[in-house]
Amino acid sequence: MGVFRSVVATIFIGLLVFATHLHAQEAPKFANAVETALDHVIIPNHQAFYGASTVNLTSLVRLCARPSSDHLTAARTSFKDLLTAWSRVEMFRFGPAREDNRFEQLFYWPDRKGRGLKQVQRALASEDPQFTDSGVLAGKSIAVKGLPALEFVLFGTGSDTLAAGNPFRCAFAEAIARVIESNANALLAGWNDADGYGDLMKSAGSDGSPYKTHGEAVQDLLRAASEQLEIVRNVKLAAALNDTPQSAKPKRAPFWRSDMTLPTVSANISSVNHLFEESINDLLAPEHVRQATALSFEIAQVTRTMDGLEDNWLDLSTSTDGHQKLSYVLFPLNGAVFLIREMYPAALGLTLGFNSLDGD
């Protein structure tokens, strides 16, 4: 790792010397990169998320109509697929995700003081029919209508009663699923519809677009990718692992009840890699292609380590061997963040500027 880091440092110094600003002749490359990112990554992944939300809703409708162990298993499986699909669009926190607090409506996390969980538990205890009406639920607190809320209803304390028949709990789950499907559809429309955010990115420089250049749109993509990896590293993993297995607090991580912590983290990381392989790496000049190799190397270190983990998240994070392996991935993740935040912008003549995570 020491040799590799020295190589990374050498590349970075070279970037600062040879790539100081964006040349006008590079503008078409940025436009092509934005179009490719939208058509090959952003929109298809949002389509998949919406599709997964529809499948999940259908499985819950079936469970509520005919409770059984098989139907509960199917509902839980479709929910896990939904989480994976969500994790592939999670990094796109700008544009449509900001409208109507849509991101927070879908993913109210971290819930550091458990306030959201308490709201879900109170709703279950109340058996108030308002929580089974998706139209009414859509206007309630973001804590009771998103993915973490649905995870608790399907996997939390008392969820096994869904197999035998628990009308209120199942109706609550179905209502949450309808709100999630509605928000997933709105996200997709926000990116994909005519004059939507996708078109605004493609038409950078025109009246109405929030971007003066396509280079600015690429900056948003780089920022989204670097922030996603920072969140994975610092908030989802490091904050839960702490320094030792004895001090680990694995329940700080998202989706531990469904044992989807590591699969969703893996999907977060693979989505970043997909964006770069499909779009961003094509922007690099020949003298800077080593940067793509370096990023691929760092992500491969994470993927290889995580693919070799077999136990569930709670056991891994509190065992000596599991904790050691999980802690190791923090290092290549840090290297990947450095590459995306510092070296890619320097190579492309861009500046990421403000990081929404700074100061958190």
Sequence ranges of the domains in the chain? 2-22+213-348, 48-196
pLDDT in tens, 262-297: 999 999 999 999 999 999 999 999 999 999 999 999
Q: Which DSSP string do the residues of 32-49 spell out, in sequence order?
A: HHHHHHIIIIIHHHHHHH
pLDDT digits (tens, 9 = 90+) for 163-214: 999 999 999 999 999 999 999 999 999 999 999 999 999 999 999 999 999 9
| Share of residues in the chain with pLDDT > 90 (%) | 88
φ/ψ of 42, rounded to 5, equals: -65, -55
Under 8 Å CB-to-CB from 135, ≥6 apart: which residues?
none
Query: 48-196: what CATH class?
Result: mainly alpha
Q: Given pLDDT bands bounded at 50, 70 and 90, which one contains residue 67?
A: very high
Q: What Rg do the C-alpha atoms of the chain give, in angstroms?
A: 21
Crossing angle between the packed helical segments 69-87 and 147-155, to the nearest 10 degrees? 150
Tell me the per-residue pLDDT of 228-237, one tens digit each, with 9 for 90 and over. 999 999 999 9
